[in-house]
Amino acid sequence: MRIGIVCYPTFGGSGVVATELGLALAGEGHVVHFITYDRPVRLDPRIANVFYHEVRVSDYPLFDYQPYELVLTSKLVDVVMHERLDLLHVHYAIPHASAAWMAQQILQAKGIRIPFITTLHGTDITLVGRDPSFEPVITFAMEHSTAVTAVSESLRKDTYEHFPVHREIQVIPNFIRMDRYASAANPQLRERFAPRGEKLLVHVSNFRPVKRVMDVLKVFTAVREQMPARLLLIGDGPDRHAAETYCRANGTCNDVLFLGKMTDPEAVVASCDLFLLTSETESFGLAALEAMACGVPVVSTNTGGTPEVVENGVAGLMNPVGDVEAMTRNALTILGSPASLANFREGARRSASRFDIARVLPRYEALYAEVVEQVKVDGIHQ
Ligand code: GMT
């Protein structure tokens, strides 16, 4: 098939999932065209069957706000026509789903039928989407997508709760390439980050308030009082300054390492002992799944879709949002003995393998075949 993928090219999980999906599809012989404003961070241009189309918005001085959605729409029309695409798959509803719908209507007027699938990733529904000013557009775009998927049961439920949507939403969970993480641990990195044999805790996020990064620091500080430990923070974002200020105030700066954004965090994560995910909510928690695939257990909050990903008591331990004491206890339980850590490590990897790409990719391919057929038979939903 000839597939167009629209996503955010940044470090967020939705962009990572879209890119990995496209690469896997290309590996199966499909031709995949990425359409977005920058090359997705994990997109290697040397890979066969993969193409990238940049959406460039000119900065005409009349516009205080550049009309990205319209430029994206025009680009979609152009790529669908000239690359003879069979379908579009847009990741993250805002503004990709409504742009895809507009492109579909324009193409219809030219006699071209193109189905589009919208995959909901989380904040498009749970945070941004709940801003009432977005509601009518997102609802409309979901209703008029040829198919809609959500990355967890929890997100599917949230979508029905927060939007007046009546159509079917299929859950296709995020996935992981287990082989990519199999041998990621690096003894030299371990030696560098834990020179005195400290336990290594790690957190990866965009440091937005929803991640509750201060809880990560509080848990780490409490764990460090019980055992030699260091914390690696991967990513960057609005709460980084507050995190640094906290470390300075608590005298933990030497043991908290801010590594910034990384395109391949697995080498570092795999060399750690425990992943902390303290979020207010996560539709899925891809960062936790990546850690599990590396054999790193997770202490996480039990909200949103995370309980569908982190098997409590097997891949890690869960606790309510904001319960720093429980998180500390859980961290100490996992790290408390070599036997416990080894058990959780093994459980984490086993648990992650439920999401191996080999199980998930065929579900997307089946859906693609279905929507292409549906549009042939029923035409476009106006
Ligand atoms: O977590 C973020 O803020 C980034 C966001 C994104 O759009 O990339 O992540 C969302 O999508 C990921 C991939 O499906 C999920 O693993 C994350 O749980 C989800 N984030 C939230 O729901 C907060």
In this structure, the answer to whether residues 37 and 102 fall within a common structural domain is yes
Say whether both 184 and 145 belong to one domain.
no
**Closest residue to atom 21 of ligand 1, CA basis:** 282
Q: Which residue's CA is the closest to the ligand 1 atom numbered 4? A: 12
pLDDT digits (tens, 9 = 90+) for 298-325: 999 999 999 999 999 999 999 999 999 9
Q: In terms of domains, do 159 and 182 share one? A: no
Residue 227, SS3 per DSSP: coil
In a shared domain, residues 185 and 329: yes
Interval between CA 151 and ligand 1 midpoint (Å): 10
Mean pLDDT of the chain: 94
User: What is the structure's pLDDT at 41?
Assistant: 83
Which atom of ligand 1 has the smallest separation from the CA of 206? Answer: 3
Residues 158 and 263 reside in one and the same domain: no
The count of other CB atoms within 10 Å of the CB of residue 222 is 17
169 plus 236 within the same structural domain:
no
Are both 28 and 170 inside the same structural domain? Answer: yes
Residue listed under structure tokens 């990897």: 349
The reported pLDDT for the residue numbered 228 is: 97
Q: In a mutational test of the pocket of ligand 1, which residue from 126, 130, 152, 284 has the highest number of ligand atoms less than 8 Å from its CB?
A: 284
pLDDT of residue 125: 84
Question: What confidence score (pLDDT) does residue 289 get?
Answer: 97
237-252 burial, b if ≥16 CB within 10 A, otherwise e?
Answer: bebbeebeebbeeeeb
The span from the CA of 266 to the CA of 148, in Å, is: 30
Give the chain's domain count: 2
Q: pTM of the entire structure?
A: 0.94
Q: Which of 279, 282, 298 to mutate to test the pocket of ligand 1 (most atoms within 8 A of CB)?
A: 282
Q: Which of 121, 151, 162, 309 to mutate to test the pocket of ligand 1 (most atoms within 8 A of CB)?
A: 121
Q: CA–CA separation, 136 vs 118, rounded Å? A: 16
14 CA closest ligand 1 atom index: 8
Query: Do both 89 and 151 map to the same domain?
Result: yes
Q: Do residues 155 and 272 both lie within one domain?
A: no
Find out whether 382 and 49 touch, Cβ atoms under 8 Å: no
Same domain for 191 and 162 = no
Ligand 1: nearest atom to the Cα of 279: 23
What is the enclosing helix (H) or strand (E) of 134? Answer: none
Instruction: Output the ligand 1 site: residues, CB below 6 A.
Output: 12-14, 17, 92, 121-123, 126, 151, 174, 206, 208, 210, 281-286
For residues 153-173, b (16+ Cβ closer than 10 Å) or e, as one string?
ebbbebbeeebebeeebebbb
Residues (pLDDT < 50) of the chain are none
Atom of ligand 1 nearest to the CA of 12: 8
Judgement on whether residues 136 and 241 belong to the same structural domain of the protein: no
pLDDT (0 to 100) of residue 381: 64
* DSSP class of 310: S
Q: Looking at residue 365, which CATH number applies to its domain?
A: 3.40.50.2000
Write out the residue range of the structural domain in which residue 77 sits.
Answer: 2-175+357-381
Do 186 and 154 lie in a common domain? no
The CA–CA distances, whole Å, from 93 to 112, 148, 202, 379 equal 23, 10, 30, 22
Q: Which atom of ligand 1 is nearest to the CA of 306?
A: 18
> How remote is the CA of residue 313 from the centroid of ligand 1, in Å?
24
Report how far residue 284's alpha carbon sits from residue 176's, in angstroms, rounded to the nearest whole number.
Answer: 12
